[in-house]
Structure 1
Amino acid sequence: TAPDPITGKGYYIFPVLQYFDGVGKIIYPPEWAEQKLAPRGTEPEVLTPSGEALPEQEPVEATEVFKLGVLGPFSGPTARTGDEFKGAVQTAFEAIDYQIGPYKVELVWIDSQSDPAKASQAYEQAIVQEGVQAAILNWHSSVVVACMEIAAKHEVPHFFGFGATEVVNETYASDPEKYSYWMGKTWPSPEKLSIAYVQALEYYIQEGLWTPEAKTVIVWGEDTDWGRSFGGAIKRQFEDVGWEVLSEEYFPIDQTEYYGLLNRVNDLNPAVFAGTAAAPPAISSLVKQADEIGLESVLIADALGWVGEWYDLTGASSDYVLDQIPAWATDDAKKWAADFETRYGIKPSPSAAGQSFDMTNFFIKLANRTLEKHGTLSSETLYEVGQSELWAGQLVYEGGLIHKRYEYNAETIPDPVVGEGYFTFPVLQYFDGVGKIIYPSEWAEQEFEPKP
């Protein structure tokens, strides 16, 4: 063999590995194999080193308790979304009997009440008095901005909050070490999604399928970090392609009367009336009242479909409205949604319940990886895996109900990766309670139809 060494079993040899979630598993030689070769898209079959399938293991006895906070609007103007959060989280943890390794997971429900001050007070109380060691989810952007300070102060990692405002990104960038405890946004900054509305309308103008009298727009929204982030983003994006923004209109999150505002808008007659409100009573009231006064503008009502009963709230007034939400695209997702409705008596939305279920399962995966790596679940060990693997793009979640792949990396943090195959929302137009994709054009189920 000179000058080479002797190779082979018992001498110099490298086993063949197949990688999953940053870990190499031996697939050859068979007597060493930890799992069988798994073609892309299939689940690997775990083996013992002798090459035989592992026998079923006795469940591990729960000897310790891990307290996990769940932050959401469980009362107040957006409580209906909180109901979806609660059902989704319960469903995910019931599937594992509320147990991760030797830890019994005790959920602590932290009610934001859709109010930043009340949310931060409840959040700190959950950490200090109830012993929460990590937390997941949340809905409002303004709540995130307040609670980031509390998570950093107590060094408690918070995973997958929904609050999307770019203020979260700016806060993180101001001190990445301090604010690294806010571990990844479920929802990317509004500008990464709002641009699709502008692109959709520009596409249909260029195709000759819509010819507005003038390229004018009025921007509206709830007076919160979320509403102003979305409004500011879509305002800039319209202006960048030559549209004139006639005004911006913001209102309290719990407002439900808009006749004065809508009559002023009608007098200006913009081609587009674009905005968002996360509270179902607010956005559904605006949509209904816009129809009542005969508003002819194209109405972009981002977030209308964020609760399952949106059509019950608006009826035919939602016809021709544009929105962005994902769909129950697979048979498994549709079954999950049907089972959810049967159990809880409410229609789950993909945006709230569906994504909450996925992100809860992502946390469960991360917790299992933490236990595998460190042998314990704690604020410190979860934070370490979040930093070293989640934010490095090594720990991802695939096979969820809503998006094909949830991923973060050094280029996107604290936002997720956005794009086809990752986090993405198509632009829909509603008719008879059904959203039809109109953009991107390659996904379109129908063409954009202006209101007659």
Structure 2
Amino acid sequence: MKKLRFKSSLVLLFFVFFGCFQTAGAAAEKTLKVGITAPLTGHSALWGTNAKAAVKTAFNGIDNKIGDYRIEVVWIDSQSDPAKATNAFSEAVEKKGIDVAFYDVHSSVSVALMDVVSKYEIPLIFPLGAAGTINEKWLSDPDKFRFFGGKGWPEPGKLANGYVEALEHSIANGSWTPPTKKVAIYGEQTDWGKSFCSQLKKSFENAGWEIFSEDYLPNTQTDHYPLLSKYKKGEVSVIAGTITGTSSMTGFIKQSAEIGLKAVIIADGLGWSGNWYSMTGQSSNYVLDMIPQLTTPEAKKWAEDIKKEYGFLPSPNAGGLVYDYANFFIKVANRVLEKHGNLDRASFQDVLVTEVNTGKITYSKKDGAIIMQEYKYTPESMPDPVVAQDYFYFPVIQYFKGKGQIVFPDQWKEQDMKFRK
């Protein structure tokens, strides 16, 4: 009887000890919930597909851990709609308990999220919305919007002028004589489209071009024949604009070829989706875009790894930029843990404001960046990153057979710009 009691006591002691061990182990592991807003469904779902692969690859590279914190990603489907994005973000805060937010895309979504992150005091790090409306709102009250971190994409006007410079350079060196100096401006009817196109329009006007028309359309529209026919009849030499909806943009390119347009086409963002060429084919030949290229061995290996793991070739913008910013986020999180000993909202906010936004923490090629030379913010550039050839900069490229070659600026040029005859 005594032996039975002794054995029972040992069993009980074992379970008590084991239970305590398990509890201690569970308590030792902490969780960092990262909310990531992306268009997982809808007309820009390819952006979400690229973002998911990029984020997973970056976080898997650190075994989804920062110090003694396990990273738990909470995906927030924006559906490319500001109202739906803010509702989903609020649910992620209230019901899923996210601690910090990283990334989003579409300027209209970014503008809407600014108020939400301020309300909940959730730091949003490296959102990719670019439109000038974001800058205006942020600069109107930097203290209120201090939880909205530096943008992952600068105001469009800081990049858009490159197209005009490239064309004017071709005119000056005698490689192109436009039949007319008329340009048609087209764009999606969003904050991004209007901001980009307004800057593009100013750049052409400053260079002495006549604006034939300025047209905005839904980024879901796929029938462009009437608009393109108007441009052909108007004998414009350049058609310049942007549409982020993949089906809409690729349809625009295909239909321009079908009706025999000879004008130079600037399609900013055509290459953002990894499968764009399968949707345009040879009709995309001669099209100009501004997009970084996967040129280094490290960048090419990253792209091949994504293709092997997820079955598609990622876009430098929709995938490569997100991969770099995800790793920048990791660098920031490590600094937060080093400085504060924990990864709570207030600690992230402190490092974001005092070290990221002031340029004390940057992310560069030596850190492992595969797209830009260096991602850096300064008090003067905020909320934009620093734009320069050694920092955030897009070359002008021209597509042939699905591949883009740099045609401007000259110091980066891979081939001369070519024109339809």
Give your verdict on TM over 0.5.
yes
Aligned to 2:225: 259
Point out the structure with the larger helix share: 2
CA distance in 2, matches of 1:270, 1:363: 45
* Equivalent-residue separation in structure 1 for 2:345 and 2:247 (angstroms): 37
Q: How many residues align?
A: 393
Matches of 2:28 and 2:83 in 1, distance apart?
36
Which of residues 349, 352, 371 is equivalent to 1:383?
Answer: 349
Corresponding residue of 2:373: 404
Corresponding residue of 1:353 = 319
Opposite residue 429 of structure 1, the aligned amino acid is: Q
Identity %: 47
CA 398–61 in structure 1, closer or farther in 2 if over 3 Å, else same: farther
Residue 238 (structure 1) aligned to one of 204, 212, 223: 204
SS in 1 for 2:145: helix
1:63 to 29, 33, 36: 29
State the Cα distance separating 1:76 from its structure 2 match.
0.3
- C-alpha offsets along residues 205-231 of structure 1, whole Å, 9 cap, x if unaligned? 111111112211110011111111111
Give the whole-Å Cα distance in 2 for the aligned partners of 1:126 and 1:306: 27
Distance 1:310 1:62, change over 3 A: farther
- Match in the other structure for 2:216: 250
C-alpha distance in 2, partners of 1:323/1:61?
51
Q: Distance in 2 between matches of 1:262 and 1:403?
A: 35
Asked if 1 retains the 8 angstrom alpha-carbon contact of 2:180 and 2:235, the reply is no
Q: Counterparts of 1:78 and 1:420 in 2: how far apart (Å)?
A: 29
CA distance in 2, matches of 1:86, 1:62: 28
- The alignment status of 1:450 with 2:416, answered yes or no, reads no
Within 5 A, what are the aligned runs for 1:33-432? 63-399=29-365, 400-432=369-401
Letter in 2 for 1:419: A
Residue-by-residue CA offset, 1:284-307 (whole Å, 9 max, x unaligned): 000000000011111000000001
Q: Deviations over 1:327-362 (max 9, x none)?
A: 112111101100101111111011111110110010
Structure 1's unaligned 5+ residue stretches are 1-59
Please say if residues 128 and 151 of structure 2, whose CA atoms lie closer than 8 Å, have aligned partners that are also in contact. Answer: yes
Contact 1:61/1:102 (8 A) holds in 2: no
CA-CA distance at 1:61 after TM superposition: 9.2
Query: Counterpart of 1:68 in structure 2: which amino acid?
Result: V
Q: For 1:329, what is the secondary structure of its paired residue?
A: coil
| Partner amino acid, structure 2, of 1:404 | Q
Q: Distance in 1 between matches of 2:364 and 2:321?
A: 12
Contact preservation (8 Å) 1:218, 1:245: yes
Q: 1:62 touches 1:101 (CA, 8 Å); kept in 2?
A: no
Counterpart of 1:221, as a letter, is: G
Give the partner amino acid of 1:106: E
How far apart are 1:62 and its partner, in Å? 5.4
Match of 1:419, SS state, is coil
Q: Is the 8 A contact 1:370 1:381 kept in 2?
A: yes
Q: Structure 2: give runs of 5+ residues left out of the alignment.
A: 1-25
**1:299-334 C-alpha deviation (Å, 9 max, x unpaired):** 000000001211111000000000011011211110
**Do 2:189 and 2:218's aligned partners in 1 also have CA atoms closer than 8 Å?**
yes
Structure with the bigger RCO (C-alpha within 8 Å, sep 6+) is 2
